[in-house]
């Protein structure tokens, strides 16, 4: 279980990393061609990439089949607990979870520390919340974002500058930037070991500010020179001392030069802006589909060719010491990992069902599987043995029914060789319509019964 979760986490990490690298490559060309708002839309690729690797791939239809297989010798294995996986996946998973919890707690503490540093918030006559600790307005909070301005807002800034600041922060509210910032913070907490997510968070905040700058200019019609002067006047003021994890601040810590340089470019018209958003969407969708198609096969997609020989030998009864032996054989069945293969067809009192699961490869690189089995008697579980096997191995299980002394044998063979799988798939299409075989009931002589004849 731990290994499967780590495998999924690794796939998600690779997907996020690829998405960030692609966004870094296209965000500047998108901004120059279609405006800052189109570049901001490119960040939708990050959640799309996660969705792409979490969605299951289409499952290929797999049919069971029967072919002739020679069985020779068997290696006995005692009924007992299955061999556990190596402990390192659980250790790594625990470290990842602890790191994520620590990052989440640290982010929450920084947010609470910032909120406490604002002091007592008072609602003014204009309906705005005011803080004595601020020098410029900000939007804070993810679930209930609030616009907060300095207590001396009117004395600190001119009416024209105040209108620009409020319009800028209002755009953050309309765009839901604080909620996006909260989602980005959660991604950082989840992938805290990936340095690319910290770089991506900084670029995302920068693109959010530049997109709101462009939206404010387009809506208010303010001269760019005045807007640039407003940015310079506020950015040169004393910086706020505590980082705001979830929020948007007019006087942000992002590069001032980039924001002012963006003001030199002409604002895109509505048609060009829509074209930019569509282009960003196509890039994100195409990249997500490529990630989805390129993801490695999931456990449900992996298959193994299983063969099982199942024998139930009744004890000798009567003067002639004659018993009965039930033989069931399933040969070369193509089974998806995690899927149960049942030996019987409803006519035998004894049946067996085995579920193959992947294990780490052996030291020599050979594939290994864990077979979780159920010995059934009249449909009820008699025992739950588990064994491990490797490519071409023939492990066996032997036990006795405590109620009537019936001896039960199970011998299995597993393989994932391409030739066996290819042959199984070819025969499956041809033999899928054939009726299933029936169990063989025959009297056994007094001499010991041979498992393989």
Note the helical H segments in 118-240. Answer: 153-156, 159-175, 177-190, 195-220, 224-235
Q: Is 250 among the domain residues?
A: yes
> Are 176 and 38 in the same domain?
yes
Beta bridge partners of 149: 130
287 and 308 housed in the same domain: no
Tell whether 285 is covered by a domain: yes
H or E element, residue 283: helix 270-294
Residues 436 and 322 in one domain: yes
d(CA 408, CA 396): 10
Is the pLDDT confidence value at 73 over 50?
A: no
Query: H-helix or E-strand containing 356?
Result: strand 350-359
**Angle CA(116)–CA(119)–CA(120) in degrees, nearest 5?**
120
Residue at 203 is within a domain: yes
Q: Residue 17: its pLDDT value, please?
A: 92
Which of 262, 294, 326 terminates a domain? The answer is 294
In a domain, 71, yes or no: no
Would you say residue 200 lies in a domain?
yes
Q: Which of 242, 275, 294 marks a domain boundary?
A: 294
Stretch (H or E) spanning 136 = none
Same domain, 215 and 316: no
Residues 126 and 197 grouped into a single domain: yes
pLDDT average, residue stretch 50-67 = 55
The answer to whether residue 352 is domain-embedded is yes
Model pLDDT for residues 414-441, shown as the tens digit of each residue: 888 888 888 777 777 776 666 655 544 4
User: Is residue 346 located within the same domain as residue 269?
Assistant: no
In the DSSP assignment, the letter for residue 288 is H
Residue 65 lies in a domain: no
- Among 294, 327, 344, where does a domain finish? 294
| pLDDT reading at 98 higher than 90 | yes
Which pLDDT band, with edges at 50, 70 and 90, does 287 fall under?
confident
Structure confidence by residue, pLDDT tens digits, 198-247: 999 999 988 888 888 888 887 766 666 777 766 766 654 444 445 566 76
- Rounded CA-CA distance 261/213 in Å is 12
- Report the mean per-residue pLDDT for the chain: 76
Same domain assignment for residues 264 and 355: no
Judgement on whether residues 282 and 153 belong to the same structural domain of the protein: yes
- Please indicate, yes or no, whether residues 397 and 317 belong to a single structural domain of this protein: yes
Q: Are residues 309 and 277 in the same domain?
A: no
Residue 85 has pLDDT above 80, yes or no: no
Report in angstroms the alpha-carbon separations of 351 from 54, 70, 261, 411: 37, 22, 76, 13
Q: Say how many domains are in the chain.
A: 2
By residue range, what is the domain housing residue 356?
303-444
Asked if residue 111 lies in contact with residue 246, where contact means CB atoms within 8 angstroms, the answer is yes
pLDDT digits (tens, 9 = 90+) for 296-310: 544 444 788 888 888
> Could you tell me if 315 and 415 lie in one domain?
yes
Residue 90's CB: how many other CB atoms inside 10 A?
16
Residue 419 placed within a domain: yes
Whether 100 and 231 share a structural domain:
yes
- Report which of 397, 417, 424 is spatially closest to residue 331, judged by C-alpha positions: 424
Q: Is 243 helix (H, G, I), strand (E, B) or coil?
A: coil
């Amino acid at each position: 279980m731990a290994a499967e979760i780590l495998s999924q986490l690794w796939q998600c990490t690779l997907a996020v990393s690829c998405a960030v690298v692609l966004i870094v490559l296209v965000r500047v060309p998108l901004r120059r061609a279609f405006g800052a708002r189109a570049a901001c839309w490119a960040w939708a690729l990050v959640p799309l990439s996660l969705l792409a690797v979490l969605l299951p791939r289409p499952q290929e239809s797999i049919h069971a089949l029967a072919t002739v297989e020679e069985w020779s010798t068997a290696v006995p294995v005692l009924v007992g607990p299955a061999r556990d996986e190596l402990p390192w996946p659980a250790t790594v998973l625990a470290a990842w979870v602890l790191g994520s919890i620590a990052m989440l707690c640290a982010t929450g503490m920084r947010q609470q520390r910032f909120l406490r540093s604002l002091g007592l918030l008072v609602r003014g006559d204009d309906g705005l919340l005011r803080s004595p600790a601020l020098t410029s307005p900000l939007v804070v909070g993810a679930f209930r974002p609030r616009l907060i301005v300095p207590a001396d807002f009117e004395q600190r800034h001119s009416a024209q500058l105040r209108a620009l600041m409020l319009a800028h922060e209002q755009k953050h509210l309309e765009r839901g930037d604080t909620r996006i910032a909260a989602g980005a913070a959660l991604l950082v907490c989840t992938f805290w070991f990936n340095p690319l997510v910290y770089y991506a968070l900084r670029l995302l905040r920068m693109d959010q500010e530049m997109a709101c700058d462009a939206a404010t200019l387009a809506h208010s019609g303010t001269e760019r020179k005045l807007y640039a002067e407003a940015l310079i006047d506020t950015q040169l003021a004393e910086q706020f001392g505590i980082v705001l994890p979830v929020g948007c601040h007019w006087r942000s810590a992002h590069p001032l030069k980039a924001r002012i340089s963006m003001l030199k470019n002409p604002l895109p018209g509505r048609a060009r802006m829509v074209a930019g958003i569509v282009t960003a969407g196509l890039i994100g969708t195409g990249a997500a589909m490529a990630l989805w198609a390129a993801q490695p096969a999931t456990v449900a997609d992996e298959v193994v060719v299983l063969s099982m020989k199942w024998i139930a030998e009744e004890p000798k009864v009567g003067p002639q010491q004659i018993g009965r032996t039930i033989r069931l054989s399933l040969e070369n069945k193509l089974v998806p990992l995690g899927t149960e293969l049942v030996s019987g067809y409803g006519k035998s009192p004894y049946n067996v069902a085995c579920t193959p699961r992947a294990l780490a490869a052996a030291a020599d690189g050979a594939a290994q599987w864990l077979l979780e089995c159920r010995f059934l008697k009249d449909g009820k579980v008699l025992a739950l043995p588990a064994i491990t096997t490797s490519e071409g191995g023939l492990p066996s299980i032997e036990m006795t029914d405590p109620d009537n002394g019936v001896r039960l044998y199970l011998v299995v063979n597993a393989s994932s060789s391409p030739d066996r799988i290819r042959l199984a798939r070819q025969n499956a299409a041809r033999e899928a319509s054939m009726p299933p075989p029936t169990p063989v009931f025959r009297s056994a002589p007094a001499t010991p019964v041979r498992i393989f004849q």
